[in-house]
Structure 1
Amino acid sequence: MRLPVLAALAVLTACGGIAGCATQAGPQAAQPAAVAPATGPKTAGSAAAYNPRGMVVSANPLATEAGLRVLREGGSAVDAAVAVQAVLGLVEPQSSGLGGGSFMVFYDAKTGKVTAYDGRETAPAGATPALFLGEDGKPVSFVAAVLSGRSTGVPGAVAMLAQAQKEHGAIGWDRLFLDAEKLADQGFVVSPRLASMINGRSPQGQTADAAAYFTKPDGRRYQAGETLKNPAYAATVRRLAAEGASALYEGPLAEAIVAKLHEGERPSAMTLADLAAYKPRSADALCRPWKVYSVCVPNPSSSGVSLLQALLMLEHTDIAKRGPRDPIAWTQIAEAERVMYADRDRYVGDPAKVTVPVEGLLEPAYVKQRAKLIGETAGPAPSFGLPKGAPKVGPDTTIEPGGTTHFVIVDAAGNVVSMTTTVESIFGSGRMVGGFFLNNQLTDFNFAPTDKDGLPGANAVAGGKRPRSSMSPVVVLDGKGKFLAAVGSPGGSAILSYNLKAMVGVFDWGLSMQDAVALPNLVARGDTFSGEVNRFGPELTAALQARGVMVKEGQNENSGLHGVIVRPGGKLEGGADPRREGVAKGLE
């Protein structure tokens, strides 16, 4: 017998979360795939927000306020996205910025069209498959690669936002950088998360540029609660506001970027021509029917196709009859993830350079076949499958650290932005220009150009190529093609697992958006099961282990899920990951 969703949430809350209810077994109290999951009880410390007119959910309150300021002035969701990104690059520089890249999924309320914008960085034209090989022909260490000039791709976030704003903006571009300029000039309060990164041990945080920026005159590094100013960043955003996106790709800023990347050992092949030639991509989003909805994600080189595959595979299980305290449900998620990653790691890359079998991976017969590998216990690590159109490519050894952020914006007209944006690792490459960090996105390529048989991987380095990305912002439409929900997360390769968990929580288990993003994280890839043992609790952890899911603590960066869902009457409900500093706030 299944209880109503409200009752299920009440039990979950009363038990103090999943850990407190972990001893309960069997199918759990959740309605399958409801348009209007419960809006009642919430877990303690909920960051949910409700408002019918608009909403911004981002990883920092200052960025959320910047987005809301633009919406109050009549700006669109895309206008607000520019403001949010500009502020995040200042107050959360460990995660994203002007020197990075991003993927955006945009829902147009007038037309119902969903567009995917690709602002992924590109390798310089002069990059070769030996980009990260040492003199001995072997891959250099990951840290050596990150800190080198060769790790940086041509930044794409600013160009992508400029294109989207030109097509969907409602107010002037020059109005979108006011918050970032003011905060950079007058200073902003260092948050606890930023302070932990400033005073952490990441190699990028120890570079000369980072040390100069984060060290006070007394020789100590900035701490939480102290005020940090960045006049160079203020000058950069003033230039962008006045001149447009071209200010980053031509002129003094572009020259400074190229000069910075040619410093030190392993200099970049980046040229001014590479920067001037950068073009963002846009196309219809990759959408597929799922339950009674339509789920839309970016096209490759995003790994959104893999998230779709996992969702479709789980439709062949009874996970919707289970719930967040059921070890079988989490085992099903883990097994779906393992299959998803096996295929993703083999086939996803830049479609302009390699064949990505998108249709084959999502073909119903193939999905059904792969779903047979999902059981109630963990089996051997699955191998990659052979979907229609699959090219013959080598294995992948890419390392993806998680230094990324995600935000969702809904404007008063109903337009929606779901955007994941990054500089890759913490503080990117650790090199700064114009007050912002440059990305180390090219380390998202497979360092080894070929396998032992000389077969290149789908994600091998090539000049002008976009590296594969795990970023997969999501937009969900209802059965009538109207906006229903948006969600996304940072977290390196674990992004796919985090997004999958949130989607299952909201649409299979009937949780609020806040409770769904707060669910424990479980990342299953190959023979490894990493997750949040403390959040699962000892009983559920033991039950998972009995099924072969040997969860161990992992993923230092962890999730930063943010989402919005439409409830009955057009009410917007937002959720912000309690693991970070995000906030969901409605437009008053």
Structure 2
Amino acid sequence: MRVLLSAALGASLSIIASPSQAQSTVAPEAATGRTAKTLGVTSRDMVAAANPLATEAGREILRAGGSAVDAAIAVQLVLNLVEPQSSGLGGGAFMVHWDQTRRSLSTLDGREVAPAAATPNLFMGADGKPMGFMAAVVGGRSVGVPGTPKLLEEAHKRWGRLPWARLFEPALRLADEGFTVSPRLNGLLGMEKALLNDPIARAYFYDADGKPWPVGHVLKNPTFAQTLRALQQGGAKAYYEGGIGKEIIAAVTSHPTNPGGMTSDDLKNYSVEERSAVCGKYRAYTICGMGPPSSGAIAVQQILGMLETKDMARIGPGPEALHLFSEAGRLAFADRALYLGDPAFVSVPVRGLVDRGYVASRAKLIDAEKSIGRAKAGEPPFRRADIFAPSDGIEHGTSHISVVDKDGDAVSMTTTIEDGFGSRIMTKGGFLLNNELTDFNFAPDENGVPVANRVEPGKRPRSSMAPTIVFDNFGRLYAVVGSPGGSLIINFVAKTLVAILDWKMDPQRAVDFPNFGSRNGPTEIEKGTEAEPWKAALEAKGHEVRLIEMTSGTQAIVVTPEGYQGGADSRREGVAIGD
């Protein structure tokens, strides 16, 4: 979908029209410490991503005259090598794109799809109960039809400047010549158990004794180089209809303990969807993001819409702000659980969920002195009479890329293979496959009432990914933001926006600021941070507080009169750089 920003600015928290699992308290990706970062400052362009080698690939492409999309493609291809646990060609992504010349915003959905053989009982055991999470994850059962390769190709057709083949060069050099294993990759491999059972992954990531390659070890991936060359020469068709696809099908269907039912037709029939962007006002700004099947933009805008009724600038960072933020999160997540799903299967009342009057009515439920506890879903306007049961769902890890090029075009892309190291299946082509189908609700109904996010053939699982682009009061590009983190993404992105827009933090300080919020369960505070002492004040207001790891990977770029400022989350290894 492509919209003119003038239309978005004319709408008050509205959609721009186009022609029960337990909540996880485990971090999507384990924490491996922080890497101190400094604010990135540039005058011409900027790219922010989760690994310096990937970020440098993006800068190389920008220096060669590439567009924001060109740079994002190069970054994604390198992330497949240096951050394989989070994203890659075996997964999916959402992209929000701003065209400065045309002043138009577009959103592309490269979300994975359930194979035709998938049934609502895909994750139900023989005992009639939902499978355990890891029992469902590991193997071919959890693998959705990947969308990332077609998304990259489609975006390049629309907004690329450099030849498609040029974008593969940075990743090809690293695959052929090798790159050094980073502390984060080494640490995560050391914590991982199931990956050792995949013979291809074991041979690639571990030594003969089953120990992860040490930090600094030069890791080469010649089979992935072959995959890259096939895509470089044949485009996405080489993946979906060629030898790469055959290898994917073989890996999924021949898994020794948990095979899946993906077919060559599933791959061949995959399509990228252009979706309706969701844009809404927040104070003097317009916040735009990805609509369903992502719940990210809707939930972020609901949280911000409720906080807009509060003077967050005056309140400032502290327990009072955390209370308000958590209560808004409870209300937003209650709506998300009931109403959000794939719009091809579920009538999602997007217009009603972000209606300014409705959000204001939800804000009135927030008591400054007492927690709601467990919030109930509201009754937004414009909803249909469809009745579904709520689903919290379990969602896990991803990566995020933010780019602005010399012409002011911007990309916010969140990309994923779902859990850390996905389904723990590595193809002969040298990349990991997703376990995205576990983003569906495992139980197809609750008390006889169907769940909106149930498994169905050809359906895209609900997501929390929230790639976001922000415009100022004059319709000018102001910020490009997004984060990994499963369902925590919503709170990570909303926190970062409040920190930048209300608390006037620079983007590095904003992304590094402690994470917190509620997903309509306990109030969660990032342990070991300056927010931890706020626990007592929250408990005095009736909050059940949990101190947990909250391993975000937020990448934020802010436009300034002098150029750009960028922040790369210190919880990961990336940087924000440019010229």
TM-score, structure 1 as length reference = 0.89
Quote the Cα distance in structure 2 between the aligned partners of 1:165 and 1:555: 37
Q: Structure 1 residue 360 and structure 2 residue 352: aligned?
A: yes
Give the residue type in structure 1 aligned to 2:463: S
Q: Structure 1 residue 285 and structure 2 residue 277: aligned?
A: yes
Quote the Cα distance in structure 2 between the aligned partners of 1:46 and 1:187: 25
Q: Report the CA distance between 1:266 and its aligned residue.
A: 3.8
Q: Report the CA distance between 1:137 and its aligned residue.
A: 2.4
Q: Structure 2 vs 1, CA of residues 205 and 116 (structure 1 numbering), >3 Å: closer, same or farther?
A: farther
Contact 1:530 1:554 in 2 (8 A): yes
Match of 1:565 among 552, 558, 565: 558
Quote the Cα distance in structure 2 between the aligned partners of 1:219 and 1:192: 17
Q: Report the CA distance between 1:223 and its aligned residue.
A: 1.4
Q: Structure 1 residue 237 and structure 2 residue 228: aligned?
A: yes
Structure 1 residue runs without a partner (length 5+): 1-43
Q: Structure 2 vs 1, CA of residues 287 and 205 (structure 1 numbering), >3 Å: closer, same or farther?
A: farther
Give the alignment of 1:58-457 within 5 angstroms: 58-204=49-195, 206-217=197-208, 220-263=211-254, 264-303=256-295, 304-324=297-317, 326-376=318-368, 377-388=370-381, 389-390=383-384, 391-401=386-396, 403-433=397-427, 434-452=429-447, 454-457=448-451
Give the residue type in structure 2 aligned to 1:168: W
Aligned residues: 540
Q: Report the CA distance between 1:555 and its aligned residue.
A: 4.2
Quote the Cα distance in structure 2 between the aligned partners of 1:352 and 1:284: 13
Q: Report the CA distance between 1:455 and its aligned residue.
A: 1.3
User: Mean alpha-carbon deviation: is it higher for 100-109 or for 539-548?
Assistant: 539-548
Q: Structure 2 vs 1, CA of residues 70 and 468 (structure 1 numbering), >3 Å: closer, same or farther?
A: same
Q: Report the CA distance between 1:356 and its aligned residue.
A: 0.6
Deviations along 1:70-121, whole A, 9 cap, x unmatched?
1111110001111000000111000000000011110001011111111100
Quote the Cα distance in structure 1 between the aligned partners of 2:106 and 2:496: 22
Contact 1:533 1:551 in 2 (8 A): no
Quote the Cα distance in structure 1 between the aligned partners of 2:179 and 2:201: 17
Give the residue type in structure 2 aligned to 1:354: V
Deviations along 1:467-505, whole A, 9 cap, x unmatched?
000101100011222211011110111000000100000
Residue number in structure 2 paired with 1:554: 548
Contact 1:204 1:210 in 2 (8 A): yes
CA RMSD of aligned residues (A): 1.6
TM-score, structure 2 as length reference = 0.91
SS in 2 for 1:501: helix
Give the residue type in structure 2 aligned to 1:442: L
Q: Report the CA distance between 1:543 and its aligned residue.
A: 2.4
Quote the Cα distance in structure 2 between the aligned partners of 1:368 and 1:408: 31
Q: Structure 2 vs 1, CA of residues 538 and 415 (structure 1 numbering), >3 Å: closer, same or farther?
A: closer
Quote the Cα distance in structure 2 between the aligned partners of 1:379 and 1:443: 29
Q: Structure 2 vs 1, CA of residues 217 and 472 (structure 1 numbering), >3 Å: closer, same or farther?
A: same
Quote the Cα distance in structure 2 between the aligned partners of 1:407 and 1:242: 25
Match of 1:515 among 474, 485, 509: 509
Give the residue type in structure 2 aligned to 1:520: P
Quote the Cα distance in structure 1 between the aligned partners of 2:409 and 2:78: 21
User: Mean alpha-carbon deviation: is it higher for 366-375 or for 260-269?
Assistant: 260-269
Quote the Cα distance in structure 1 between the aligned partners of 2:124 and 2:484: 28
SS in 2 for 1:175: helix
Q: Structure 2 vs 1, CA of residues 274 and 198 (structure 1 numbering), >3 Å: closer, same or farther?
A: same
Quote the Cα distance in structure 1 between the aligned partners of 2:213 and 2:191: 12
Contact 1:204 1:428 in 2 (8 A): no
Give the residue type in structure 2 aligned to 1:58: A
Contact 2:66 2:161 in 1 (8 A): yes
Q: Report the CA distance between 1:202 and its aligned residue.
A: 4.5
Deviations along 1:151-179, whole A, 9 cap, x unmatched?
01110011111101100000100011111
Quote the Cα distance in structure 2 between the aligned partners of 1:164 and 1:112: 17
SS in 2 for 1:248: helix
Deviations along 1:526-584, whole A, 9 cap, x unmatched?
2312221321356433223323334322246x111110001124x10000111111100
Quote the Cα distance in structure 1 between the aligned partners of 2:578 and 2:152: 23
**Quick one: percent identity of the two aligned structures?**
47
Give the residue type in structure 1 aligned to 2:491: S
SS in 1 for 2:341: coil
Residue number in structure 1 paired with 2:13: none
Q: Structure 2 vs 1, CA of residues 417 and 259 (structure 1 numbering), >3 Å: closer, same or farther?
A: same
Quote the Cα distance in structure 2 between the aligned partners of 1:205 and 1:293: 48
Quote the Cα distance in structure 1 between the aligned partners of 2:532 and 2:360: 34
Q: Report the CA distance between 1:142 and its aligned residue.
A: 1.0
Q: Structure 1 residue 576 and structure 2 residue 571: aligned?
A: no
Quote the Cα distance in structure 1 between the aligned partners of 2:380 and 2:194: 40
Quote the Cα distance in structure 2 between the aligned partners of 1:188 and 1:420: 24
Quote the Cα distance in structure 2 between the aligned partners of 1:398 and 1:208: 31
SS in 2 for 1:117: strand
Give the residue type in structure 1 aligned to 2:435: N
Contact 1:347 1:357 in 2 (8 A): yes
Quote the Cα distance in structure 2 between the aligned partners of 1:539 and 1:148: 42
Deviations along 1:301-330, whole A, 9 cap, x unmatched?
111211111111111122232111x31111
Q: Structure 1 residue 499 and structure 2 residue 487: aligned?
A: no
